[in-house]
Amino acid sequence: MSFSIALAGKGGTGKTTVAGMLIKYLLMKGKTPILAVDADSNANLNEVLGLELIDTIGNIREEMKKGEVPSGMTKNIFISMKMEQSIVEADGYDLVVMGQPEGAGCYCAANTLLTGFLEKLTSNYPYIVMDNEAGMEHISRLTTHNVDVLLIVSDTSRRGLQAAIRINKLSKALNIGVGKSYLVINQMKDNPPDEVLRLINQEGIELLGTIPDDKSVYEFDLHGRPTIEMPENNIAVKSAFNIFDKIIK
């Protein structure tokens, strides 16, 4: 049985960086193999992990729409083959990326393909980490469903916390099979203000922990260095690992 963790939150809160730290944590704990899933149409988990993309589910969908299926091959066989080829293999984990259709358009088809593909893959991996797109669209489209833990990442801004609260409420209202949802406050400069704690307690969302703001994270990103390579003694990495200790057994 796979143990699945999905990450969600407002854009700019650093959820993809947190997803990378979680993958680093699982690797160091020997919790492998891991299936890393970038379900964000604006894919960048591969950059956090230092991996080159082979293909995306969205691009495969576009190829099929354009009639680029080889003669003698059905669309189903073509899509299945291309999706298997799109898996990026790394040491201890694999990466699958949804990506996006070319130009304007709905992501529903790529999302449906990704969901079906994951259903076939999950039994091969004891741990699954899914980085979702910003906001709540992934929940309303049911990309995030039947997960053991939903980590909702926020910063200390009121908008970030309000988005986290709405995501938590929507996941419960849709009854999509989330085992437990938690709040993680990222980029924390000081202790959480009383107003932040009051808002969290009022809404009944459990604060799992905080990750301090650290310039090393910014510098790694600025210079295009994979943040998964940040040292274990980094204050942000250590804080994140303390959080993950609470949910990974």
For residue 212, what are the domain limits?
Answer: 3-244
Q: Residue 109 — pLDDT band, cuts 50, 70, 90?
A: low
Q: Is residue 126 part of a domain?
A: yes
As a whole number, mean pLDDT of residues 138-162 equals: 77
What's 213's domain CATH number? 3.40.50.300
In a domain, 249, yes or no: no
Predicted pLDDT of residue 83: 84
pLDDT band, very low/low/confident/very high, at 159 (cuts 50, 70, 90): confident
Q: At what angle do helices 15-28 and 235-244 cross, to 10 degrees?
A: 70
Q: Give the span between the Cα atoms of 153 and 128, in whole angstroms.
A: 17
User: pTM to 2 decimals?
Assistant: 0.88
The answer to whether residue 139 sits within a structural domain is yes
List pLDDT tens digits, range 6-45.
999 988 899 999 999 999 999 999 999 999 999 887 889 9
Mean pLDDT of the chain: 85
- Residue 96 in any domain: the answer is yes
76 found inside a domain = yes
Domain total of the chain: 1
What is the side-by-side strand order in the sheet with 3-9? 88-89, 93-97, 34-39, 127-132, 3-9, 149-154, 180-188, 207-212
Residue 170 lies in a domain: yes
Question: Looking at the domain assignment, is residue 98 inside a domain?
Answer: yes
Q: What is the pLDDT of residues 37-93, one digit of tens each?
A: 998 878 899 999 999 998 888 888 777 777 777 877 877 788 788 888 999 999 999
How many CA atoms within 13 Å lie on the side-chain side of 228? 23
pLDDT at 111: 66
- pLDDT category at 140 given cuts 50, 70, 90 is very low
**Does the residue 78 lie in any domain?**
yes
